[in-house]
Amino acid sequence: MMNDPRGKDASATHGAYLAIREKILTGDLPAGQKLKIERLREMLNTGASPVREALSLLTSDLLVERIDQRGFRAAPANKANFEEILTLRCVLEDMALRRSIERSTRTWEDRLVLAHHHMTRATDQGTAAFEEAHKTFHMTLLDNASLAMLERYCSQLYDLNIRYRYLAARGAGYRRRDVSGEHRAILDAALEGDADRASARLLDHYRLTGDYLVAELDDL
């Protein structure tokens, strides 16, 4: 009955949440598209209630819009939106990273080193694995700030950004630049407790990727 590749069989709602989320992020469900319950229901082999609830939850993530009495649609994507995401990320991650470094501990340093190492290892293991390790690294940079809402916003913005990467190049070619060198530079600065340098490197990292993406997104 449950032919989900992953072993975990949490609730049907959670399964639907993950599946729909993935489809939106990768562009399988294009931005702006109407999301009909019935269609999703049969795509995911589940009932209407879980689908509906999953969509409500995706609303929190700004990946789905809901209009009362007329259903759900995948959040629209456009250049202005992308630029807003970039701006907000720069401001919020700057704040979070500085505070993380300020409160640095050995434990955090350890987690950071590990997250970075796992990311370098994951380059071989397919994009999905790398994607996850990459996010973990970036979130670890921020999580020592111990500001739950700020973390949540950053995580949200990170995810929204993924979608634009897929839009620009269908996910391929992301590692074209010397991304691993940039990661290394951020890590080193953070470990040394140099907040200014770490933040500068992190923001460069985003702005470089951002410029690259903007170039591909002219048509939107």
Q: How far is CA 172 from CA 128, 158, 164, 193, in A?
A: 12, 17, 12, 34
| Size, binding site for DNA by CB under 7 A | 23
SS3 at position 64 = strand
Please calculate the CA angle 44-38-159 and round it to the nearest 5 degrees. 55
Which partner from the list a second copy, DNA, none does 85 bind, CB cut-off 5 to 8 Å by kind?
Answer: a second copy
Any residues with CB less than 8 A from the CB of 42 and at least 6 apart, and which? none
User: Taking CB under 8 A as the rule, which mask of x and - marks residues 12-51 in contact with a second copy?
Assistant: -xx----------------------------------x--
Length of the chain: 220
Q: Which of residues 53-72 bind a second copy (CB under 8 A)?
A: 53, 56-57, 59-60, 62, 66, 68-69
Verify binding: residue 11, DNA, rule CB under 7 A. Answer: yes
Q: What is residue 21's three-state secondary structure?
A: helix
Estimate the share of the chain in helix, then strand, then coil, as percent rounded to the nearest 5: 70, 5, 25
Task: Give yes or no for residue 46 binding DNA (CB under 7 A).
Answer: yes
* Residue 114 binding partner per list DNA, a second copy, none, with a CB distance cut-off of 5 to 8 Å that depends on partner kind: none
Interface map 56-85 toward DNA (x if CB under 7 A): -----------xxxxxx-------------
List, in sequence order, every residue forming a beta bridge with 66; answer none if it has no partner: 72
Reading the block at residue 56, the tokens are 């409500």
Question: Quick one: which of 34, 117, 121, 152 contacts DNA (CB under 7 A)?
Answer: 34
| C-alpha to C-alpha distance for 151 and 146, rounded to whole angstroms | 8
**Segment interacting with a second copy, rule: CB under 8 A, options 105-113, 144-152, 174-182, 192-200:** 144-152
CA distance 47 to 59: 19
* Contact set with DNA (CB under 7 A): 9, 11-14, 34-38, 46-50, 52-53, 67-72
* Contact set with a second copy (CB under 8 A): 10-11, 13-14, 49, 52-53, 56-57, 59-60, 62, 66, 68-69, 81, 84-85, 87-88, 91-92, 95, 147-150, 152-153
